[in-house]
Amino acid sequence: MTAETTKRKSTRSPWLRRGRLENVAVALIGAGFLMMFQPFAMALYTWSFVTLLAGTAMFIIVSKFPE
């Protein structure tokens, strides 16, 4: 096999890459953490667990993507 056949161009969108989506997931986790420990708005506290859960689930799923 030649080097050209082993290196195939990915047909995925640039937005569906592991690095960017992992960064978004970590940002969601951080936002949920900040929302949970802020003393000002009850609405932020109410949605903090959902935000943390979404970020964690997204990180678990995205970490399985190829680089």
Q: What is the DSSP string of 1-65?
A: --HHHHS----S-GGG-HHHHHHHHHHHHHHHHHHHT-SS-HHHHHHHHHHHHHHHHHHHHHTTS
Residues of the chain falling short of pLDDT 50: none
pLDDT score at 16: 75
State residue 44's pLDDT score. Answer: 96
Residues 44-56 pLDDT 10s: 999 999 999 999 9
Residue ranges of the domains in the chain?
Answer: 14-62
